[in-house]
């Protein structure tokens, strides 16, 4: 890292932005139902007035802290603040019920901070090497990479394979709206010239994540449970947290590395990393029977994995220009708006972007510790902010934020349409993540597919002619095979479960 | 997967067919058998296949005495229909509020529209009227400062244009 970047990072302006975003991320993450993706989407209008370096730092700071802060309502209310905290919410809640909420949260804060730093160190080591390979990629390879990302999104979602695929195709269809890339024919715009540019991404994200969440809150009349009382003093909790982390230092190391690598898969983000590392932790633990009943080991693993994944998710984004999750997708959008296109060339053409990114990550993960301790001390007040105050605020920021992106009312309609879609999909068990990636990557996939088709005069075998293209293509086909097998297995399992269960349940 | 998948499955098939039909009307590129319609068609076929698979798996399960239906019944017992209906009404009201915001934003202006929409939302979530008004006025003031003054977003003034500052 050069001196210039360091000076820029430690300038008062940049430090203020980082501190504000750390605070903002913590607060949003700590509110049950407000996710890290939503925090970033609502931040986008503000990044318009920043220079791109500052905007990237702001995004990094917000996601890093929001993912950690998602643990707070998980521990105190049993409601994960972001999906990334869902894996170990049961353990966290049980521990808090036993009066250990502060030490639990401190452990996940420190684990998150270490995980985040490991994540960015690995990113800094791996990404430039990959970029050297990626610089020779043509439309064939990019097509396969994007397709692989989409397939991974289906593979790593927790829902049924059919529904994940359906969600993906919905996203791909939405990406088709607007002028087409090949000949400039307007598609599915119904004469609305505002749609010629396509469905703008930020209003789409705001609709899918923010409005659908408000709708969910409106349709469930349930009141929040009261948060658990805190019975530990802060210094006591600190001592215990450090002791626990020292005991489980191997878990932290293992899950930080694994989380980064999982995050680096296009399509898999922090939530998947947390689930997988939690499962691994249980498999290798000496006390697997205590998982889910208030055992700290899983929290150490999941907490470090999900923050490590945030750094990892930037690998495909920076190296290939293919976002690893919805947050990096937003970040890529911001870079593009500033005339910087992510891809292997960014390492040679705009190294300051890459260095600022690394620096912002490292700095945020350190800043997060004091801010996090303060928030943990106040946490039971923060999670008590009532929904009837919170939801109107989120609604206005969503609508005005969307409007600010496009300066037209069309944004409001996009938010509404995709909000209804997102709510309907969630209510019927369709995962949202594949749709988001479909919207983001649809354009890239189509553009590279059409370019390749035109180059090869429609010869599909050309997609396997170059060595990297062939390797990526075969990998993608393998993922598809796995998915097909899993879909068949799901159907088989359901049938069996039914034929076993049906007679047993009849007497009731 | 439960019987509730029947409707989404049908919807996917129908929507996919509609997209496919529209995509087939797009012109193709000069000298090539494919064009702008190719990619939407792929998405449309994908949607239809997923829809059909959902339908098949749902119908296969429905032929048996399913545990799904019993569990669905017990769920209904726990949540009386009254609760469902109220939830539906609140959802519809929220959609109406957002749609109203979209319709009124330019003619009426940002401030008045937001005042109405946010007050209504706060009431919907159970805040009383004085507090709802308080919340929305302070919120609009904050958003005005943040977006209009600080970030130069041209929020429309609508009927309040003579008062613009």
pLDDT digits (tens, 9 = 90+) for A267-309: 777 888 888 899 888 888 888 888 888 888 889 999 999 999 9
Same domain, B59 and B103: no
**Do both B53 and B104 map to the same domain?**
no
Percent of chain B with pLDDT over 90: 34
User: What integer pLDDT is reported at residue A395 of this predicted model?
Assistant: 92
| pLDDT computed for residue A115 by the predictor | 94
Nearest-neighbour CA in chain A from B115: distance (Å): 10
Same domain, B62 and B104: no
Query: In a mutagenesis test of the B interface, which of A224, A385, A396, A446 is the best target, namely the one with the most B β-carbons within 10 Å?
Result: A396
Q: Does B163 touch chain A (CB under 8 A)?
A: no
User: Does the distance separating the beta carbons of B154 and A218 come in below 8 Å?
Assistant: no
CA distances from B20 to A448, B15, B47 (A): 21, 9, 10
Q: Which of B35, B52, B77 marks a domain boundary?
A: B77
Option in B4, B16, B66 nearest A428 (CB): B4
Answer whether residue A503 shows pLDDT above 50: no
Rounded Cα–Cα distance for residues A31 and A13 (Å): 27
Whole-angstrom Cα distance, residue A379 to residue A101? 10
In this structure, what token pair is assigned to residue B37? 């319609």
> Is A508 a member of any domain?
no
Distance from C-alpha of A163 to C-alpha of A155, rounded to nearest angstrom? 11
B26 and B99 together in one domain:
no
Give the pLDDT mean for A394-404: 89
| Digit-coded pLDDT (tens) for A155-210 | 877 778 899 999 999 999 998 888 887 777 888 877 777 788 788 888 888 898 88
Which residues 6-45 in chain B show a CB within 8 A of chain A?
Answer: 7-8, 12, 16, 19, 22-23, 26-27, 29, 32-36, 38-40, 42-44
CB contact under 8 Å between B122 and A392, yes or no, is: yes
| Count of A-B CB contacts under 8 Å | 195
CB atoms under 10 Å from CB of B31, counted, come to 6
- Find the angle CA(A498)-CA(A501)-CA(A502) to the nearest 5 degrees: 75
Distance from CA of A14 to the nearest CA of B (A): 17
The reply to whether A469 falls in a domain is yes
Q: Please give the Cα distance from A110 to A103 (Å, whole number).
A: 10
Whether A193 is in a domain gets the answer yes
pLDDT at A255 over 90: yes
The more confidently predicted of residues B33 and A366 is: A366
Report d(CA A147, CA A181) in Å as an integer: 18
The residue out of B25, B49, B77 marking a domain boundary is: B77
Give the chain A residue whose CA is nearest to the CA of B154.
A407
Domain contains A505 = no
Residue A473: name the closest of A161, A140, A153 by CA.
Answer: A140
Mean pLDDT of A25-34: 84
A180 secondary structure, DSSP code? -
The total of other beta-carbon atoms located within 10 Å of residue A5's CB is 20
Q: Which two tokens stand for residue B165?
A: 């500052």
In A157-186, which ranges are continuous DSSP H helix? 161-176
pLDDT surpasses 80 at A68: yes
pLDDT band at residue A425 under the 50/70/90 scheme: very high
pLDDT for the residue numbered A53: 84
Q: Which residue has the tokens 């960014």?
A: A346
Distance from C-alpha of A153 to C-alpha of A3, rounded to nearest angstrom: 39
Nearest CA in chain B to A401: B147
Average of pLDDT values for A310-334? Answer: 84
Residue B1 has pLDDT above 60, yes or no: no
- Can you read off the two tokens belonging to residue A155? 């593979």
Q: Which residues of B touch A58 (CB under 8 A)?
A: none
Nearest residue of B to residue A408, measured between CA atoms: B106
Count of domains for chain A: 1
Please give the average per-residue pLDDT across A94-100, as a whole number: 86
Query: Chain A residues with CB inside 8 Å of B32's CB?
Result: 453-454, 458
* B97 in the same domain as B23: no
For the segment A370-384, the average pLDDT, to the nearest whole number, is: 85
pLDDT band at B82 (very low <50, low <70, confident <90, very high): low
> ipTM of this model?
0.86
pLDDT at B88: 87
Are residues B85 and B149 part of one domain?
yes
Going by C-alpha positions, the residue among A76, A322, A489 that lies closest to residue A85 is: A76
Closest alpha carbon within chain A to B95? A416
Residue B118 touches chain A, beta carbons under 8 Å: yes
- Please tell me the number of Cα atoms within 13 Å of A95 on its side-chain side: 31
Mean per-residue pLDDT for A332-357?
Answer: 83
Classify residue A67 by burial, with Cβ atoms within 10 Å: 0-12, 13-18, 19+: buried
Contact A297, A249 (CB under 8 A): no
Average pLDDT over chain B reads 81
* Position with higher pLDDT, B28 vs A153: A153
The pLDDT mean for chain A works out to: 85
Whether the pLDDT of residue A463 is over 60: the answer is yes
Range of the domain at A359: 3-499
Residue B66 has pLDDT above 60, yes or no: no
The yes-or-no verdict on residue B71 having pLDDT over 50 is: no
Nearest residue on chain B to A164, alpha-carbon basis: B50
What residues does A90 pair with on adjacent strands?
none
Same domain, B91 and B149: yes
Is residue B71 domain-shared with residue B85, that is, in the same domain?
A: no
Domain co-membership, B67 together with B115: no
Please state which of the ranges A7-21, A137-151, A187-201, B94-108 shows the lowest mean pLDDT: A187-201
* Chain A residues near residue B140 by CB distance under 8 angstroms: 396
pLDDT at B69 exceeding the cut of 70: no
Query: Of B56, B77, B98, which residue sits at a domain end?
Result: B77
Which of B32, B87, B143 comes nearest A458 by C-beta? B32
Q: Is the pLDDT of residue B31 over 80?
A: no
Give the mutation candidate from B43, B48, B55, B146 for the A interface (greatest A CB count, under 10 A).
B43
Residue-number span of the structural domain to which B17 is assigned:
3-77
CA distance A502 to chain B (A): 6
Q: Which of A404, A412, A445 sits opposite B102 (nearest CB)?
A: A412
Q: What is the pLDDT of residue A224?
A: 67
Contact between B143 and A400 under an 8 Å Cβ cutoff? The reply is: yes
B64–A502 CB contact, under 8 Å: yes
What one-character-per-residue DSSP string does A367-426 give?
Answer: HHHHHHHHHHHHHHHHTTS-HHHHHHHHHHHHHHHHHHHHSSTHHHHHHHHHHHHHHHHH
Q: Shortest CA distance to A212 belongs to which of A78, A46, A398?
A: A398
The per-residue pLDDT for B103 is 92
Report the domain count for chain B.
2
Which pLDDT score, from 0 to 100, does residue A336 have?
78
Please indicate, yes or no, whether residues B91 and B57 belong to a single structural domain of this protein. Answer: no
- Residues of A with CB below 8 A from B118's CB? 392, 395-396
User: Please, which pLDDT band fits residue A217 given cuts at 50, 70 and 90?
Assistant: confident
Q: Is the confidence at residue A324, as pLDDT, over 80?
A: no
Are A172 and A188 spatial neighbours (Cβ–Cβ below 8 Å)? Answer: no
């Amino acid at each position: 890292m050069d001196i210039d970047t360091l000076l820029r990072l430690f300038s008062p302006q940049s430090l203020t932005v980082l501190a504000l975003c750390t605070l903002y991320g913590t607060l949003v993450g700590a509110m049950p139902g407000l996710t890290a993706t939503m925090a970033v989407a609502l931040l986008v209008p503000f990044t318009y007035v920043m220079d791109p370096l500052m905007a990237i730092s702001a995004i990094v700071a917000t996601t890093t802290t929001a993912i950690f802060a998602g643990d707070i309502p998980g521990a105190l209310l049993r409601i994960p603040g972001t999906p990334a905290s869902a894996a170990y919410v049961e353990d966290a809640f049980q521990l808090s019920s036993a009066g250990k909420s502060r030490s639990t949260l401190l452990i996940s804060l420190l684990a998150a901070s270490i995980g985040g730093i490991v994540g960015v160190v690995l990113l800094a080591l791996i990404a430039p090497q990959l970029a050297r390979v990626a610089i020779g990629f043509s439309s064939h390879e990019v097509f396969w990479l994007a397709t692989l990302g989409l397939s991974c999104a289906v593979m790593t979602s927790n829902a049924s394979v059919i529904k994940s695929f359906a969600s993906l195709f919905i996203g791909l269809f939405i990406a088709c709206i607007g002028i087409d890339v090949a000949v400039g024919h307007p598609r599915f715009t119904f004469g609305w010239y505002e749609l010629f540019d396509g469905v703008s991404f930020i209003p789409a994200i705001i609709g899918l994540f923010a409005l659908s969440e408000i709708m969910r809150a409106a349709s469930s009349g349930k009141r929040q449970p009261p948060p658990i009382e805190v019975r530990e003093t802060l210094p006591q909790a600190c001592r215990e947290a450090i002791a626990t982390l020292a005991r489980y230092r191997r878990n932290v190391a293992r899950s930080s590395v694994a989380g980064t690598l999982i995050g680096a898969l296009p399509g898999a983000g922090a939530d998947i990393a947390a689930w997988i590392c939690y499962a691994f932790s249980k498999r290798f633990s000496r006390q697997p029977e205590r998982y889910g009943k208030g055992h700290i080991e899983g929290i150490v693993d999941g907490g470090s994995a999900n923050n490590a994944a945030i750094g990892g998710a930037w690998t495909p984004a920076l190296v290939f220009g293919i976002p690893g999750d919805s947050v990096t997708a937003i970040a890529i959008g911001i870079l593009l708006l500033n005339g910087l296109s992510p891809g292997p060339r960014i390492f040679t053409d705009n190294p300051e972007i890459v260095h600022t990114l690394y620096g912002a990550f490292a700095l945020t993960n350190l800043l997060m510790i004091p801010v996090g301790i303060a928030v943990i001390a106040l946490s039971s007040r923060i999670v008590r902010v009532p929904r009837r105050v919170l939801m109107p605020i989120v609604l206005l920021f969503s609508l005005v934020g969307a409007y600010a992106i496009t300066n037209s009312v069309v944004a409001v309609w996009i938010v509404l349409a995709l909000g209804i879609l997102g709510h309907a999909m969630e209510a019927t068990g369709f995962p949202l993540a594949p749709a988001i990636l479909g919207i983001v990557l649809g354009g890239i996939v189509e553009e590279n597919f059409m370019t390749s088709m035109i180059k090869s005069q429609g010869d599909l075998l050309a997609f396997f002619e170059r060595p990297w293209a062939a390797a990526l293509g075969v990998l993608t086909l393998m993922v598809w095979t796995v998915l097909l097998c899993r879909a068949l297995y799901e159907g088989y399992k359901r049938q069996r479960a039914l034929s076993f269960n049906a007679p047993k349940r009849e007497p009731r | 997967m439960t019987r509730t998948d029947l409707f989404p499955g049908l919807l996917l098939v129908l929507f996919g067919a509609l997209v496919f039909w529209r995509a087939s009307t797009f012109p193709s590129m000069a000298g090539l058998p494919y064009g702008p319609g190719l990619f939407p068609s792929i998405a449309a076929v994908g949607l239809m296949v997923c829809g059909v698979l959902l339908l098949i798996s749902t119908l296969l399960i429905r032929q048996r005495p399913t545990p799904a239906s019993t569990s669905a019944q017990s769920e209904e017992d726990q949540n009386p229909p009254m609760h469902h209906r109220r939830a539906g009404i609140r959802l519809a009201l929220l959609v109406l509020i957002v749609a109203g915001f979209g319709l009124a934003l330019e003619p009426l202006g940002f401030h008045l529209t937001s005042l109405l929409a946010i007050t209504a939302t706060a009431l919907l979530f159970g805040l009383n009227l004085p507090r709802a008004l308080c919340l929305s006025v302070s919120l609009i003031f904050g958003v005005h400062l943040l977006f209009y003054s600080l970030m130069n977003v041209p929020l429309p003034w609508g009927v309040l244009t003579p008062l613009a500052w």
